[in-house]
Chain A
Amino acid sequence: MSPELKDVLAAAFIGFCFVVFLYPAMALILLPSP
């Protein structure tokens, strides 16, 4: 596997993790204050 492809895969994984988390987390941010 070329270094460039490795970088793209790593970048995709990092982006994927954050998008998956932040999408539903936005709903939490909008929860009413305690």
Chain B
Amino acid sequence: MSVLFDAAIFLAIFAVLCAFGLAFSTRSEFGRTFETTLSGIALLLGACSFGFFVCGSLGNFAFPFFVCAIPLFCLAFAIVRRKHIVARLQTFFSRLRDLPRVESLLLLYLAGVFALTFLATLVPPGGGDYDSLVYHLAAPRQYLRAGRIVELRYDHHTYFPFGTEMLFTFGLWLRGPIVAKLFHWLMLPLACGAIVAIARRHLSLRSGLLGAALFASLPVVQSEAPTAYIDLALVAFSLFAFLQFFNWLEDGTDSGLILCGIFCGFCLGSKYLGVLTFGWLGLGVLFFSARQKRFAFKPLLAFCALPILLGGGWYLRNILWTGNPVFPFAYGVFGGRGWTAGMAQRYSIEQAIFGFGHAPLDWLMLPWRLSFSPLGALNGMQPWWPFGRAVSSAQTGLFETPGMALSTILGPALLAFGAPLLFIQSKPRVVNFMLCSFAFFWLFWTLTAHYLRYLLPAFALLCIACGWAIERFLGRSAPLRLATAITFVIWLCITPFLTPYLLFGQVRAALPVILGRQTQDDYLSRNFVGYRAMKWANENTPPTARFAVWGEPRCYHLDRDYFFADSFHNTLIDYEQIKSGDDLVSALRNLRATHVLVNTDPAGTAGVGTAPPQLEQAVASGQVNLIFESRVYKIYALQK
């Protein structure tokens, strides 16, 4: 019952967003209505996120105001334009009925993926939602405890741009983590809609639906959609920025450039990598403006100023807090309070272990390895040497952390359909620009951390180009037509089942909770090893308790004030000065800690870090007392 209530609340939010999007559209033509409705929804989400950030930074999230104001605004907007909305809906459904069979089937497939990922989202975040438990949801929960955005010095992740996390904060405040997760799920339909909108306007509807189906079929996308990560939000906002860029490029509309700037601002506010989208599209604007000798000062100024206004706040906040706009990155350039050269070096090494190596030959074989990972990492299953062996040593051979390798797979589809695309002559300008954009993102990724998720915006662009290629292939001679059709259909059907950790497995795990046969508590006890200890802490320690945590960064379920005490997270404890149990207790008291939570087997439970030996000394001397133990977790209380 309870998770269905979460779903109902979110569907009501979705209805409000759709009403705004429909009322936002001004054109009578079906395609434009579709495009402007989606853009309206994305704009409203981005604007809300920005509003929450401004209010949260000023001292109060003011969620009750937003909850009243936004639906009222949308309702008023919708009432004023009710005839328009009814007409658009009628056109929409009549066009749906008239769709050719291929388009209808692709639409059906997309609806199926959206429905399955929606179902998989209807569970609370377990151990697999790793970063959600560390910071995507954990930091918003701390913000809600404080009533505003506060500096969380214990976790460097909390200095990242938190635009999407603002939506999560709202979801947590309104109902809980499931509604928060559904905001990220919504980015999948929005991203697919943006793919269709780009292709429909500049290529063809079929290309768009093929590209959207291809994107929605990628296992890494399907496994990410039900989590409270933020990568799909960056994908969606990037795609809308590209859509408006193409509209400006092809139709010469100034509004396209202004809207492109707004979406670039939302990209900047979603993730540091959003800088790439803004920078690349900025170069594109300059290049095509110069080529077409078309310089309109005001739209260009808006394109430059709006991203800084809408997304720059996160970077300004970092400058004020740490002195480094991209904390903790670029430490050698900007430095950063609360970070050291040693920590920066360790962080770089952590990022560099992903992938197969950074030698030139490794880079050359990256497309192949990326497409077939993690098969190469599983002993006895590596099918095609020498591509699986890193040229340089000490690499993991994975594009994800080992624990999540089987749920983040790219697969061969983009390589299979993308490589032949390069040999097609006289491609449309939009396709060429998308391939160039992909090459730009790819080059940056190749030279930095080989983390699969970081490429998602680039994959989305490549999917549009591949959708166009697949449509071309389906119109060629029998061998190519058959090979394309058969492999594409098999790929679409098989991806949810590729590993037990992918979509089908996630839905199967969620069904008992959705059907009410399993409580959320029971689900969490089975899916997150630290849940019982944290639940006990929530029920048996005073609300004012403050925990020092070792060995476990996934602290979302710990509904208390806490800080990470491991040395590599922050500089809160100067371990050079900790020689005895007394020193440690003194340091903990200085940090106002009242309790300690320790994961004693981080290696076996996907935790990170370990408690210092001085903790045992403090326990032996009676200054710290063990008060609870569950599985590998121990909770101590500091003697008053």
Chain A residues engaging chain B, CB cutoff 8 angstroms: 3-4, 6-8, 10-15, 17-18, 20-25, 27-29, 31-34
Contact A34 B505 (CB under 8 A): yes
Would you give the 0/1 interface string for B160-174, flagging 1 where the beta carbon is closer than 8 Å to chain A? 000000000000000
**Contacts A21-B375, A21-B412 given; does A15 touch B501 at CB 8 Å:** no
Residue of A nearest to B417 (CB): A14
Residue of A nearest to B476 (CB): A7
Contact A22 B494 (CB under 8 A): yes
Contact A17 B371 (CB under 8 A): yes
Contact B416 A13 (CB under 8 A): yes
Extra 15 A-B pairs, beta carbons < 8 Å, given A13-B416, A20-B372, A21-B372 = A6-B423, A10-B480, A12-B483, A14-B483, A17-B371, A20-B384, A22-B490, A24-B382, A28-B406, A28-B498, A29-B498, A31-B499, A33-B500, A34-B501, A34-B509
Residues of A within 8 A of B375 (CB): 21, 24-25, 28
A30 CA / B592 CA spacing, docked (Å): 51
Residues of B within 8 A of A6 (CB): 423
Least CB distance from A7 to B in Å reads: 4
Would you give the 0/1 interface string for B481-507, flagging 1 where the beta carbon is closer than 8 Å to chain A? 011100100110010011111000100
Contact A4 B383 (CB under 8 A): no
Contact B372 A8 (CB under 8 A): no
The answer to the question of B1 belonging to the interface, with a C-beta cut-off of 8 Å to chain A, is: no
Residues of A within 8 A of B509 (CB): 34
Contact B491 A13 (CB under 8 A): no
A34 CA / B484 CA spacing, docked (Å): 33
Least CB distance from B527 to A in Å reads: 9
A11 CA / B417 CA spacing, docked (Å): 10
Q: Can you report 26 residue pairs joining A to B where beta carbons are below 8 Å apart? A: A3-B476, A3-B477, A4-B477, A7-B476, A7-B479, A8-B479, A10-B423, A11-B479, A13-B416, A13-B420, A14-B420, A14-B480, A14-B484, A15-B487, A18-B412, A18-B487, A18-B491, A20-B372, A21-B372, A21-B375, A21-B411, A23-B383, A24-B375, A28-B381, A28-B499, A33-B508
Residues of A within 8 A of B501 (CB): 34
Chain B residues engaging chain A, CB cutoff 8 angstroms: 371-372, 375, 378, 381-384, 406, 411-413, 415-417, 419-420, 423, 473, 476-477, 479-480, 482-484, 487, 490-491, 494, 497-501, 505, 508-509
A34 CA / B375 CA spacing, docked (Å): 18
Residues of A within 8 A of B500 (CB): 31-34
Contact B415 A25 (CB under 8 A): no
Contact B498 A14 (CB under 8 A): no
Residues of A within 8 A of B420 (CB): 10, 13-14
A18 CA / B413 CA spacing, docked (Å): 7
Residue of B nearest to A31 (CB): B500
Partner of B480, one of A11, A27, A34: A11
Contact B476 A20 (CB under 8 A): no
A16 CA / B512 CA spacing, docked (Å): 40
A29 CA / B479 CA spacing, docked (Å): 29
Residues of B within 8 A of A12 (CB): 483
Partner of A20, one of B412, B479, B484, B491: B412
